[in-house]
Amino acid sequence: MPTTPRDLPNLRVFDHPLIQHKLTLARRRDTPPDEFRRLLNEIAGLMVFEVSRNFPVEALDIETPLETMRGSRLSKPVTLAPILRAGLGMTDGILRLFPEARVGHIGIQRDESSRKPIDYYAKFPPDVADGPVLVVDPMLATGGSAVHAVDHLKRMGCRDIQMVCLVAAPEGVRAMLAAHPEVPIHTAALDRRLDERAFIRPGLGDAGDRIFGTVGA
């Protein structure tokens, strides 16, 4: 079961040995892009297995090869909302767990004059507000993009929102707590701090570059 730091009530940290094993391999600077992508997807799938524990269900009567029985199924549509571009690196791992989930996308960049985040792309199912939404991004650093993504989803009427990330900085968790205290954040690690360039320490490096092999490009 995930743990919650006393001073960060919106955070759930997954300390499962298998997740920590895979995260350690992903952190290594010499892990190549193909292995990095595989590890991120595997960790995402392991985490979402637990994140989905409280998804709403409904009864369903079915015929097995031997008799009629009452089972259950998810009662509301689930939507993944990866923040472009790095969030795409975790999406396949989640879809392997439940391929019936829909995938929306949101791209966020910083306006150079106002220094505030703005959407450059957003596309979601028209009924996105009808079920749970998982905001997906490997890194929660300053929290600016995550807060903006949740703002956008709330304007669309979404109320059942959770975030899934691999590594979080305390600064980003606190920013989300201040803006959206009811949104739980699920992470594989709470790292030490942000540095002067807003990189998470010890972190993963630039997750997007490592996923797509564009380091140094």
Q: Calculate Rg over the CA atoms of the chain.
A: 18
pLDDT in tens, the chain (217 residues): 789 988 999 999 999 999 999 999 999 999 999 999 999 999 999 999 999 998 999 999 999 999 999 999 999 999 999 998 888 889 999 999 889 999 999 998 776 566 577 788 899 999 999 999 999 999 999 999 999 999 999 999 999 999 999 999 999 999 999 999 999 999 999 999 999 888 899 999 888 888 887 865 4
What top-level class would CATH report for the domain 11-212?
alpha beta
Neighbours of 170 (CB within 10 A): 18
Measure the CA–CA gap between 35 and 25, rounded to whole angstroms.
9
Q: Are 102 and 54 in contact (CB under 8 A)?
A: no
Give the number of residues written for the chain: 217
What is the DSSP code (8-state) at residue 144?
Answer: H
Q: What is the DSSP string of 180-202?
A: -TTS-EEEEEE-SEE-TTS-EES
Q: Where are the alpha helices (DSSP H) in the chain?
A: 17-27, 33-51, 88-97, 144-155, 170-179, 207-212
What 3-state class would DSSP assign to 84? strand
Domain spans of the chain? 11-212
* Pair 141, 207: CB distance under 8 Å: no
Contact between 47 and 188 (Cβ < 8 Å): yes
Q: How far apart are CA 133 and CA 82, in angstroms?
A: 10
Q: What is the dihedral of CA 152, 153, 154, 157, to 10 degrees?
A: 130
What is the pTM (predicted TM-score) of this model? 0.92
